[in-house]
Chains A and B, each alone.
Chain A
Amino acid sequence: MNRRVVVTGFGMVSSLAPGRETTWAAMLEGRDGLGPLTRLNLPLEPAQIAGQVPLAALRHQTLCERMALLALEEALDGFTPPGDPGRIGVFQGAGTSGLPVAEAYLEERMAGGRGRALEPAYQTPCNVADALARRLGACGPRATLMNACSSSLLALGQAWERIVAGELDVAVAGGAESLCRTTYGGFSCLKAVDPRKCRPFSRDRAGLNLGEGAVQLLLEPLDRAQARGATIFAEVLGYGASMDAHHPTAPHPEGEGAARALAMALRQGRLDADQVDLVSAHGTATPANDGAECLAIRRALGPAADAVSVTSTKSQFGHTLGAAGAFGAAAAILALRDQVVSPTLRLDDPDPLCDLDCTPLVAKQRRLRAALVNAFAFGGNNVSLLLGRWSGA
């Protein structure tokens, strides 16, 4: 079996605006969701900026779980479940997930307190996938991928694989991420956090801002989607994954591994490089990433790279780590639908090393047939997803 797979629903919980369409409209207007860090009390950290969602964790629900469920509700608009719940799968990318709960417990124990042990014991990373599956009544495969910053894009790729193979009729895939002290302090000590708003692809880029949020996508085989008259946002054509085997945290300086992931996605989708019009980039705004990523795009696309538009959602949402790939996919899907590329904000002074059209400052209307989405991660993990415009064919 080799079925075509389409996106028939998706929901977003972002720091920029509530819901998918309002978030997209704000992105096209050039607004960002970055602001003063208030969720975490870290007065000694030099950077005090983040992309925060105006929600809080509940008594028995982590913020990740809450955001994921909200995003799922939006994704399920008009959804009809298949008759067999064993044909519904859930694939989640996670970064920190239940870590804030563990941090609170550790802090209380270090202070000599008892702490509520049951909370961190039960708030494991797979809780989000379990919660989504419960909401859907899903009995099919369920996976929590923790590939750091490429987690949710890998989750999308795995969901696609299962539907292509005929194993599933529906998959929910995506990711959720909330701010926590470990990642904030960690990226800060790596000197990877910019105390100002981040500037992907800029000459003076100085690091990332951290963000939070959730994106959930509903994937179905084309025939099922058409049979139930579903709205089709885009087609998922393939994905690629690779390891750099170069450095624990830094990307390969020439984007060697990332280029292989991009090329693999193109091969799986049976597209030529000149059929791709958009790259929704990892674009973290760290000095190491952006130049290497642009080189990777050039390596993979060759001369066609000069014609692609590149954009980075990190300039709107900050780096949402485990959810970042899903945010990048969301931007690409909406761009394909509306034939407009969301801008890379604060790109006043492009780095000559990033010599692609990185869509500075304002949205750009153009023909978009297919898009690549990138997510790269610690450990030299690279994932690229290939999406196609849905034109009713």
Chain B
Amino acid sequence: MTPQPTPHGPTDLVISGLGLVLPCGDGIEAARASLASGRPCFAELPEALGPGRGAACTAFNPTGIIPPMQLRRLDRACRYAWGAAHQAFLDAGLEPRSLGDRIAVAVGTQSGGSEASEAFMRPYLLRGPEGASPLIFPNTVANAASGHLALAFGLKGPSATFVDRENATFGALEQACRWLRLGLVDAALVVGTDGLFPLLLDLCGRAGFLARHGDPVVGAGTGFLPGEGAQAFLVETRASVAGRGIRPRATLAGLACRSAAGDGREDRAEALAASAESLMVTSPQRRIGGGNGRPNLDVAEARLAARQPQWPAALHPKQLWGEFAGSGGQLLAAALLEASPQVLITAPASAGTQFAALLEEVSGRYGIISD
């Protein structure tokens, strides 16, 4: 495959708002502190999720954000998405209802809808139609989060939910940028969200994906630990943001993707490298990587590091917050937490498309700062 050069440099699209629900806590400051400390968030999981270690969002507090009646009907992924989106709109100083159908929502998820599917199926398998819950069933679709976000915030523009193994949120980001560039919307809410649930943990454990001894270490090949959470990014044109007097969190300078034709790790590593190198970055100040402790992804990151020794060593947020926690959204979030002229993010996946993104003028700002 011939790598296609992707011209980059300051563009018209910026990330104006950020909202985070992570195992380290809610909000930007909790995430910043977690990243700075370098301490993993893994602990014994809450009893309802089953035995094992992982990074659950035990500190998530929806009080005052999600009405109690709604809260009861939402699964974890939808709750986290709602909480993160609420923060992102505040951070961007934007009242979404004012945009009507000029605001899109694009969601990336690895497991969206699956928690509700398990909750629906367990009683259905035991009791047949008597056990089927009409309240749970609507949440079994992967796009349940986008529907709830549309209702909660009055979002009436286009919507798309991308599902992939580890980097679906980058697909969502790509689509959001496309809608903005086509002039179909003035703003796009991009959300990565995933919630843990017993069947997922059971499957990952029994399939041998999980680290059994200690925390995951990128490159060690011992497996990952599961995590959950949501990240919301408000993407707008620079002109829109300037009009509100908001300082952007970052400029989206480039986004590239390549897929591997074959199934092997080497094929995927090649695709990730081609994706990152197509952004033509010579010396990014920061690197965020998607290594998670399983060779499936770590080999691709190691290959890239060897090919580009002049690049700084990558920080791998999944070592702190776990895998699944937003299907790649956690990588984009980590890139936004520290001021930097240029941050390169690589988001490998164990199948399908391999993404790379370049952020510039990352402000790393605290709260809402008006120019």
Contact = CB atoms under 8 A, between A and B. Distances in A.
Q: Which of A102, A134, A143, A182 has the most CB of B within 10 A?
A: A143
A378 B147 contact: yes
Interface string A45-67: 11000000000000000000000
A185 B132 contact: yes
A182 B352 contact: no
Contacts of B134: 189-190
A245 B148 CA distance: 8
B218 to A, nearest CB: 21
Contact of B141 (A90, A107, A114, A146): A146
A326 to B, nearest CB: 16
A378 B156 contact: no
Contacts of A188: 129, 132
A378 B105 CA distance: 15
Interface string A96-107: 000100110111
Contact of A248 (B132, B133, B138): B138
Using C-beta atoms within 8 Å of the partner chain, give the interface range for chain B.
35 or more
Interface in A311-364: none
Interface stretch (B199-207, B232-240, B304-312): B199-207
Contact of B137 (A126, A190, A245): A190
A324 to B, nearest CB: 13
Contact of B163 (A85, A102, A146, A243): A146
Interface residues of A, number: 75
A134 B263 contact: yes
A40 to B, nearest CB: 12
A91 B213 CA distance: 39
Given A141-B353, A243-B150, A85 B207 contact: no
B118 to A, nearest CB: 7
A114 B258 CA distance: 37
A146 B142 contact: yes
Interface stretch (A117-125, A201-209, A212-220, A365-373): A117-125
B261 A134 contact: yes
Q: Which of A154, A186, A264 has the most CB of B within 10 A?
A: A186
A244 interface: yes
A86 interface: yes
B339 interface: no
Interface string B248-285: 00000000011111110000000100000000000000
Given A146-B143, A378-B147, A126 B206 contact: no
Contacts of B121: 103, 106, 181-182
A248 B147 contact: yes
Interface in B1-44: 1-4
Nearest to B205: A117
A243 B184 CA distance: 14
B200 to A, nearest CB: 9
A298 to B, nearest CB: 19
Q: Which of A129, A137, A243 has the most CB of B within 10 A?
A: A243
A118 B122 CA distance: 20
A126 B257 contact: no
B199 A102 contact: yes
Interface in B135-175: 137-138, 140-144, 146-148, 150-151, 154-165, 171, 174-175
A102 B116 CA distance: 13
A163 to B, nearest CB: 13
B126 interface: yes
Contact of B147 (A122, A130, A380): A380
A109 B163 contact: no
Interface string B44-85: 000000000000000000000000000000000000000000
28 contacts: A85-B1, A86-B258, A105-B203, A106-B121, A106-B125, A110-B122, A118-B207, A121-B209, A125-B142, A126-B165, A138-B259, A146-B142, A147-B146, A147-B160, A185-B132, A241-B160, A242-B158, A243-B101, A243-B159, A244-B150, A244-B156, A245-B155, A264-B184, A378-B141, A378-B143, A379-B147, A379-B148, A381-B143
Interface of A: 42, 44-46, 84-86, 90, 94-95, 99, 102-103, 105-107, 109-110, 114-115, 117-118, 120-122, 124-127, 129-130, 133-134, 137-148, 154, 158, 161, 165, 181-182, 185-190, 240-249, 257, 260, 264, 377-381
Given A127-B351, A146-B143, A185-B137, 20 more contacts: A42-B128, A45-B128, A85-B1, A94-B163, A102-B199, A106-B199, A121-B204, A125-B142, A126-B165, A126-B351, A139-B258, A144-B164, A146-B161, A181-B121, A189-B134, A190-B138, A241-B159, A242-B156, A243-B159, A249-B138
